[in-house]
Amino acid sequence: MLRWLAKDERRRKEIGKFANSADGMHRLYWEKLLPVEQDHDFNIHHSPFLQDHDFNRAPMVLLLGQYSTGKTTFIRHLLGRDYQGMRIGPEPTTDKFVAVMHGHTERVMPGNAAATDKSLPFTMLQSFGSGFLDKFECSKIDCSLLENITLIDTPGILAGDKQRTMRGYDFDAVATWFADRADMILVLFDVCKMDISDEFQRVLVATKPHSHKMRFLLNKADRVTTPQLMRVYGAMMWNLGKVVNSPEVSRVFVGSFWDEPLANDEQRRLFESEENDLYTQLACLPKSAAIRKLSDLIKRARLARVHAYLLDHLKRKMPSFGKDREKRRLLASLPSVYKDISEERSLTMGDFPDVRYMQESLRSSDFSKFKRLDKAKLEKLEILLSVDLPKLMLMFSQESSTNGDPDLMASHASPFAVIKVNGLTEASAYSPQWLVPPDPEDYRGEFMAAGPNEVGKLSAQKAKVKLVESKLPSSALHKIWSLADVDKDGMLTLYEYALAKHFIKMRLDGQDLPPSLPPAMMPAGHAWPPKAGGSFASESTTTSGIPPAAEVAAFHVSV
């Protein structure tokens, strides 16, 4: 009886071995994959060993591009605010790698401090030395968007020897390190600067193994006319075709990714559609990141397997004398070595690393010092690939069905809805003269001309016609609508219309929009915080421009 109970207990422990898929990946890596990597110097020839935080960190988005293509401005556009350490200008302004992360206390961590903080996923950056760490910093801000995503801003890629000799560190190697760990790579191009320098090309080639994570952005597209945009887009695809060298067509998002008015709104609908597609992918990133990590782990395990077989093969071919001559012969005939191993071990040729890369990587190695295969460890690795990881995929599918899909859209109607990641609840600094209630009488004539309905409200379609005259992008107008539509009924009263026009003027003046409607700008008698389907019930005349009781009955009714 006791033996049966013990066996049943072991069975239950086996079923509940992992708390979740992230815990499963972490434990399987340490138990079955890491020993093989350590035996065969995987960290020297391919990528560093994984750390604990590589399995549970927030998804990472890496931004690359030549200088002044709008990388930092794009981050500011996403966050809706500035962050500490941000610099924007037409000249090469960002001279550091900046990790923009969530933090309850807003501060900037220097690179040396961030690299020694084991709670952050940057400890391996110490291998690049102080020359790089002096050019790296971590900016923490209290922004809800960053709870589920980390943004990596990078210096603009320069042309000529400045990129290679004046950085003080290996830019290509650092960019590759971040690309290895990024869940998405955004490569930005300026519509007015379509050339791809040799240095930029080197970076694109170095990150080519991660081409499935790359998204290309043709930024500042509102600066050209429609015929010019068509020609620029064609030139960009032509240049990318020569650099990426892939039979698949690269996905290019066209738009103007900032909060300023569009210089040319001929293609507003196209820009809105492209922006919507991009933000949808960003919004889905936290959910898709888990399965991407699992996919990367499978890819890493398959590479570790062929790497172990390759080094074992090279060691067995080394003679007692004439080792250098045999080493040169093996490196020269590495393609045929790949083929021999593939046929002998029944391995797919697609799992083997690039021949030229391995020839260069193995050139300084002593083949006679390579370790022989440990059959027990290889058997565990085979079980990992054939049994454990497929089961982990099943566990992930169950978790996804339990958690459900994230809500990407706001729950309130808005004619400017553009999908963005979560909402903005962070605080910012605003000029006090803007955070006062507007005078509705200033906008009564315009409001009545737009054609309100019988209860004194302007429909979303009619309001949109007036608000798009500002030429602000839809992402900014969507935020303005969310602030102005106080009762969240998808229509605007006179006071709400006045709020919308007030916030448009505020944005055109270069001011940041508040994350929520300030209490001082709320209609008198309205509940705080605002609730969907609320009503205005004040019976007193205010001195802040809010309509008196007679107008409340006409323009502010319960829904």
Q: What CATH number did the domain enclosing 162 receive?
A: 3.40.50.300
Domain match, 151 and 209 both: yes
Which helix (H) or strand (E) segment holds residue 546: the answer is none
Cα–Cα distance measured from residue 157 to residue 187, given in angstroms and rounded to the nearest whole number: 11
Cα–Cα distance measured from residue 267 to residue 229, given in angstroms and rounded to the nearest whole number: 10
Domain match, 37 and 106 both: no
- Tokens for 407, please give them: 């809500």
Examine the fold and report which residue of 357, 385, 403 is the final residue of a domain before the chain moves on: 403
Which helix (H) or strand (E) segment holds residue 358: the answer is helix 355-362
Which amino acid belongs to residue 210? Answer: H
- Tokens for 197, please give them: 């320098």
Domain match, 451 and 395 both: no
Domain match, 366 and 452 both: no
Cα–Cα distance measured from residue 12 to residue 14, given in angstroms and rounded to the nearest whole number: 5
Q: Does residue 395 lie within any of the structural domains?
A: yes
Domain match, 9 and 153 both: no
CATH number, domain of 319, equals: 1.10.268.20
CATH number, domain of 511, equals: 1.10.238.10
Q: Does residue 428 lie within any of the structural domains?
A: no
Give me the residue label for tokens 């379509």. 194
Domain match, 316 and 382 both: yes
Write down the pLDDT at residue 420: 38
Domain match, 129 and 259 both: yes
pLDDT in tens, the chain (559 residues): 434 334 444 434 443 566 677 778 888 999 999 999 999 999 888 888 888 878 888 889 999 988 888 888 899 888 888 887 777 665 555 678 999 999 888 889 999 999 998 888 898 899 898 889 999 999 999 888 888 899 999 988 876 655 556 677 888 889 989 998 898 999 999 988 877 877 888 888 888 878 888 899 999 988 889 999 999 999 888 888 877 766 677 788 999 888 778 888 788 888 888 888 888 888 888 877 778 888 889 999 999 999 999 999 999 988 888 888 989 999 999 999 999 999 999 899 989 998 998 999 999 888 989 999 999 999 999 999 998 888 888 777 666 555 544 443 333 445 554 433 333 333 333 456 678 889 889 999 999 999 999 888 999 899 999 899 888 888 888 889 989 998 888 899 999 999 999 999 988 887 778 888 888 888 765 544 444 444 333 333 333 333 333 333 333 333 2
Q: Does residue 431 lie within any of the structural domains?
A: no
User: Measuring CA to CA, how many Å separate 174 from each of 131, 137, 150, 155?
Assistant: 12, 14, 17, 11
CB atoms within 10 A of CB 348: 9
Nearest CA to 69 out of 154, 180, 166 is that of 154
Cα–Cα distance measured from residue 186 to residue 354, given in angstroms and rounded to the nearest whole number: 24
Domain match, 128 and 233 both: yes
DSSP 174-198: HHHHHHHH-SEEEEEEETTB----H
The number of folded domains in the chain is 3
Examine the fold and report which residue of 230, 265, 300 is the final residue of a domain before the chain moves on: 265
Q: Does residue 153 lie within any of the structural domains?
A: yes
Percent helix, percent strand, percent coil in the chain, to nearest 5: 55, 10, 40
Q: Does residue 429 lie within any of the structural domains?
A: no
Domain match, 119 and 206 both: yes
Domain match, 11 and 108 both: no
CB atoms within 10 A of CB 417: 18
Cα–Cα distance measured from residue 64 to residue 398, given in angstroms and rounded to the nearest whole number: 35
C-alpha angle 511-517-522 in degrees, rounded to nearest 5: 125
- Tokens for 484, please give them: 């102005």
Q: Does residue 434 lie within any of the structural domains?
A: no
Model pTM above 0.85:
no
**Torsions phi, psi of 233, nearest 5?**
-60, -40
Q: Cβ distance 120 to 138 under 8 Å?
A: yes
Domain match, 140 and 255 both: yes
Q: Cβ distance 75 to 100 under 8 Å?
A: yes
Domain match, 394 and 453 both: no
Q: Cβ distance 131 to 168 under 8 Å?
A: yes
DSSP 434-484: GSS---GGGGHHHHHHH---TTS-EEHHHHHHHHGGG---HHHHHHHHHHH
Nearest CA to 148 out of 290, 294, 298, 297 is that of 290
Q: Does residue 235 lie within any of the structural domains?
A: yes
> Which residue range forms the structural domain that includes residue 220?
57-265
Q: Does residue 32 lie within any of the structural domains?
A: yes
